[in-house]
């Protein structure tokens, strides 16, 4: 779904600001006051910004359904009405989505019961084109931003325009508190922000990353402080101020698991625990049992600069030297995986230096693919360009719900250069790969799973646990067998592939690991593989 022309329906400052943002992004825009719907026959997206009354929304959406092309997305800026109910007046409820402009930078992309994944992804891509942060969430009263702001306002003893609706939906925790002293107001507000954010997460309304982007990073702050300390603070607050501060289930669960935050290596987000000599490196090595975690830590966007490639190569050689059997490739930035190559470095290349850089990263990727070490990419947030390509060089790709994958090089007038024209087609098929490489728009984690680019989709706060579990499982497999499977699995010609498989089978069969595995099966015991 592409947006070449958009329309804004409504009057007032909000409609004017939205139209101005669209125009500034280089997209054609049509304005309508909502009493006439002429000139909308060629728009791709309409944003309705009318008063918050369902009768008005239904009238406008019924008219828009008739006045716009069948492919057009119909978006509403409502902050309090049911998106699903609004969409029911149309013949295309799957193309109805919420775009709640919640402040100068954040836009909540709200999915109703009938909103299709394609519509939600297209809307999020459009928001990013406006240089806004897209926060995807499910429909619920208040969405993310207003729920948190409403709960904080109530705890400060005040209310918002939505307070009544929020009280009806969620109960007394949105009732303005009494006798709030100035000494405790900030503390109570901070704790209530965290509690409401946890409830939104537990209800599946939005993921950790989206909630943090929307409302001031309560989860990142909790990780930095220590989740055990947050738990104790909430327990004390519950005793002092009442049941609104009951520690959320997700917090108690993480503390029970020992996931206490940054100092423990994991909380709501994973955190590096670098080995000696890697503390200040742009790529850090973190050994956890038989699994080596290689963290890309090149702020702000984890770009694959020459120094980052050098760091990846150094960490990889250390993984091999330590005899580790699995590697997890992860991001030290909780908001993204890797935004791609270092574009500024391109300006210093000539043909010779550019070729050398590409050959270096190609060689590293092939080492990963042909090694007996299994590699797992834990992809959080965006993985664009080189970030997508380095993930594709891994054996397994686990995607957080927040993950998006894309090859946007075409927008710079260039092509993927870190393997994207070759590995992508082998994973998703030639047609989808050609589409992604020539269009340049990202796909969601669920689309990536559907097309075979991702092996699993997980909640953001479960991604790293899953990656380590995959690492532990694959680290326990016979190293020679793993190596031979990886080496012969992608032969382009079937006869050549079968011949390679025969040779590989005999190498594994004749190894000490092969004899050990067969003997252990017969003797009904666990095998002990040594890589011999």
Min mean pLDDT across 98-107, 194-203, 348-357, 387-396 is at 348-357
Reported for 310-315, long-range contacts at CB under 8 A and 24+ positions apart, including other chains, are: 311/281, 311/282, 311/283, 312/283, 312/364, 312/390, 313/360, 313/364, 314/281, 314/283, 315/278, 315/283, 315/284, 315/285
User: Is the pLDDT score of 163 beyond 80?
Assistant: no
| Owning domain of residue 34 | 5-138
Categorize the per-residue pLDDT at 493 as very low, low, confident or very high, splitting at 50, 70 and 90: low
Same domain, 297 and 446: yes
In a shared domain, residues 94 and 187: no
pLDDT at 341 over 90: no
pLDDT mean across residues, the chain: 91
Instruction: Give CA–CA dist 45/38, Å, rounded.
Output: 15
Buried b (16+ CB within 10 A) or exposed e, 165-182: bbbeebeebbeebeebee
pLDDT of 346 reads 76
pLDDT greater than 70 at residue 406: yes
Is the pLDDT at 475 greater than 80, yes or no? yes
In a domain, 340, yes or no: yes
For residues 315-319, average pLDDT? 97
Query: Residue 471 and residue 236: Cα distance in Å, rounded?
Result: 39
pLDDT of 494 > 70? The answer is no
pLDDT the model gives residue 508: 67
Res 80: pLDDT: 86
Q: Which two tokens stand for residue 25?
A: 């992004």
Question: Which tens digit of pLDDT belongs to each residue from 321-333?
Answer: 999 999 999 999 9
Has residue 500 got a pLDDT over 90? no
pLDDT given at position 465: 94
Residue 254 lies in a domain: yes
CB 507 within 8 A of CB 483: no
More confident residue, 160 or 463: 463
Domain shared by 382 and 253, yes or no: no
DSSP 3-state of 148: helix
The contacts of residue 454 (CB under 8 Å, 6+ apart) are: 379, 397, 398, 399, 403, 405, 445, 448
Of residues 102 and 529, the one with the higher pLDDT is: 102
Q: Label residue 3 left, alpha or beta by phi (over 0 means left) and psi (-120 to 50 means alpha).
A: beta
What's the pLDDT score for residue 191? 93
Report if residue 367 sits inside a domain: yes
pLDDT for position 68: 96
Helix (H, G, I), strand (E, B) or coil at 304: strand
- Residue 499 is predicted with a pLDDT of 74
Candidates 519, 518, 517; CA nearest to 530 is 517
Three-class HEC string of 204-250: CCCCHHHHHHHCCCHHHHHHHHCHHHHHHHHHHHHHHHCHHHCCCHH
Residues 254-264: what's their mean pLDDT?
Answer: 96
Q: Are residues 258 and 404 in the same domain?
A: no
* Tokens linked to 267: 């909380």
In-domain check, residue 416: yes
With a cut of 80, say whether residue 319 has pLDDT above it. yes
Choice among 16-20, 262-266, 507-511 with the minimum mean pLDDT: 507-511
Confidence of residue 309 (pLDDT cuts 50, 70, 90): very high
- Phi and psi torsions of 352, nearest 5°: -70, -45
Q: Are 321 and 417 members of one domain?
A: yes
| pLDDT tens per residue, range 74-106 | 999 999 899 999 999 999 999 999 999 998 899
Q: Has residue 309 been placed in a domain?
A: yes
Q: What is the CATH number of the domain that holds 68?
A: 3.40.50.720
Same domain, 330 and 449: yes
Weakest mean pLDDT among 4-8, 78-82, 239-243, 520-524? 520-524
Residue 531 domain-assigned (yes or no) = no
Question: Binning pLDDT at 50, 70 and 90, where does residue 514 land?
Answer: low
pLDDT above 70: residue 337? yes
405 and 309 in a common domain? yes
On whether both 362 and 494 belong to a single domain, the answer is no
490: pLDDT strictly greater than 90: no
- Per residue in 191-200, pLDDT (tens digit) is 999 999 999 9
Pair (210, 294) in one structural domain: no
Structural domain contains residue 131: yes
pLDDT at 504: 65
Residue 406 lies in a domain: yes
Residue with structure tokens 């057009």?
Answer: 72
Q: Let me know whether 388 and 448 are in one domain.
A: yes
Say if residues 56 and 85 touch (Cβ distance below 8 Å): no
What is residue 393's predicted lDDT score, i.e. its pLDDT?
Answer: 96
Number of domains comprising the chain? 4
Clarify whether residues 130 and 159 are in a common domain: no
Are residues 366 and 348 part of one domain?
A: yes
The residues annotated with a catalytic role in the active site are: 389, 409
pLDDT value for 528? 75
Contacts of 120 by beta carbon, 8 Å cutoff, 6+ apart = 97, 109, 111, 136, 444
CATH assignment at residue 428: 3.90.226.10
């Amino acid at each position: 779904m592409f947006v070449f022309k958009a329309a804004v329906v409504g009057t007032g400052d909000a409609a004017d600001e939205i139209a101005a943002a669209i125009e500034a992004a280089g997209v054609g825009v049509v304005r309508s006051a909502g009493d006439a719907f002429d000139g909308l026959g060629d728009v791709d997206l309409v944003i309705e910004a009318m008063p918050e009354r369902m009768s008005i929304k239904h009238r406008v959406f019924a008219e828009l359904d008739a006045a716009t092309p069948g492919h057009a997305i119909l978006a509403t800026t409502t902050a309090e009405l049911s998106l699903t109910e609004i969409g029911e007046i149309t013949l295309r409820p799957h193309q109805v989505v919420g775009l709640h402009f919640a402040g100068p930078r954040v836009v909540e992309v709200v999915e109703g019961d009938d909103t299709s994944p394609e519509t939600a992804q297209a809307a999020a891509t459009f928001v990013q084109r406006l240089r806004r942060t897209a926060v995807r969430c499910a429909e619920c009263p208040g969405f993310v931003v207003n729920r948190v702001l409403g709960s904080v306002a109530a705890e400060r003893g005040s209310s918002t325009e939505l307070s009544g609706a929020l009280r009806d939906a969620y109960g007394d925790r949105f009732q303005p508190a009494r006798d709030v002293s100035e000494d405790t107001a900030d503390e109570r507000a901070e704790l209530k922000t965290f509690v409401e954010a946890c409830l939104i997460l537990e209800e599946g309304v939005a993921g950790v990353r989206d909630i943090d982007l929307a409302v001031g990073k309560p989860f990142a702050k909790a990780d930095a402080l220590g989740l055990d300390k947050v738990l104790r603070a909430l327990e004390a607050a519950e005793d002092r101020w009442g049941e609104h501060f009951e520690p959320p289930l997700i917090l108690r669960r993480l503390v029970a698991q020992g996931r206490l935050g940054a100092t423990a290596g994991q909380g709501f987000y994973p955190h590096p625990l670098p080995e000696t000599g890697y503390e200040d490196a742009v790529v850090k090595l973190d050994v956890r049992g038989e699994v080596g975690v290689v963290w890309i830590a090149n702020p702000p966007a984890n770009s694959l600069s020459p120094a980052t490639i050098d760091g990846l190569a150094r960490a990889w050689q250390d993984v091999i030297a330590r005899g580790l059997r699995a590697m997890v490739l992860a991001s030290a930035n909780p908001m993204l995986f890797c935004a791609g190559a270092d574009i500024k470095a391109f300006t210093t290349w000539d043909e010779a230096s550019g070729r050398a850089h590409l050959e270096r990263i190609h060689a590293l990727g092939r080492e990963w693919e042909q090694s007996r070490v299994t590699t797992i990419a834990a992809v959080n947030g965006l993985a664009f360009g080189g970030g997508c390509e380095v993930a594709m060089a891994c054996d397994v790709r686990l995607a957080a719900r927040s993950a998006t994958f894309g090859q946007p090089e075409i927008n710079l007038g260039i092509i993927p250069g870190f393997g994207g024209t070759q590995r992508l087609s082998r994973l998703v098929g030639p047609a989808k790969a050609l589409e992604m490489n020539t269009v340049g728009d990202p796909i969601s984690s669920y689309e990536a799973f559907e097309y075979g680019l991702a092996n699993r989709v997980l909640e953001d706060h479960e991604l790293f646990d899953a990656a380590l579990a995959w690492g532990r499982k694959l680290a326990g497999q016979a190293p020679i067998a793993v190596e031979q499977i990886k080496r012969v699995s992608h032969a382009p010609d079937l006869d050549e592939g079968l011949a390679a498989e025969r040779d590989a089978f005999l190498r594994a069969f004749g190894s000490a690991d092969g004899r050990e595995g067969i003997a252990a099966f017969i003797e009904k015991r666990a095998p002990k593989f040594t890589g011999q």
